[in-house]
A and B are shown apart, each in its own frame.
Chain A
């Protein structure tokens, strides 16, 4: 089975702190994604990556950056956390970009105070 592991299930940070969310997949998938999920808004794409060192902006990239130094690892970075970034963050990976099933991690619930 594909396993997508997110490093932290729950985090509490203060406004202005730098936040790292890490995601590791074990199935050699080319494609990895970061989403945030908010009540009433559904899932929204922050960034995605089709290959090592490659990244593309999603629908809501402002305030976020990403890093993909190795194929299995995709990190989401909040340079200076703000309260409006309080959310559930979901990482996903897929083998094929055109038909593939998204495999999600368990999610990281971030609270920014």
Chain B
């Protein structure tokens, strides 16, 4: 079973609207969680990192949350733009051995 589950698998949103992507994980022990954005045909790029003690972190119109007790994270996109069309990948790092567990990504399509 995958240790990082993302939902929804894909979604279509209108330009200017908000959306929220979910990441649930079972990784233990936990070190940190990163959200990456991957444009079509490009490599992923880190948006934000969340550590155990952090609840919320923003990067422009992207806001990530982390609930380490329930092992859930979300990525909220505010006032979406066409350039937000991408796959968003949740990556969780194990504490101690530095292994990474990857989610399969949320595919977001923003339409005018």
Contact = CB atoms under 8 A, between A and B. Distances in A.
Nearest to B104: A42
Interface in A1-44: 4, 40-44
A102 B46 contact: yes
Interface in B5-35: 31-32, 34
User: What is the size category of the interface that chain B forms with chain A?
Assistant: 20 to 34
Dominant secondary structure at the B interface: strand
B16 to A, nearest CB: 29
Given A90-B43, A107-B42, A99 B104 contact: no
Contact of B31 (A40, A42, A98): A98
Contacts of A97: 98
Given A43-B102, A97-B98, A98-B98, A107 B31 contact: no
A43 B98 contact: no
Interface of A is mostly: loop
Contacts of B98: 97-98
Nearest to B32: A99
A42 B89 contact: yes
Interface in B30-51: 31-32, 34, 36, 41-46, 49
Contact of A107 (B41, B100, B104): B41
A40 B43 contact: no
Contacts of B45: 104
A41 B104 contact: yes
Contacts of B103: 42
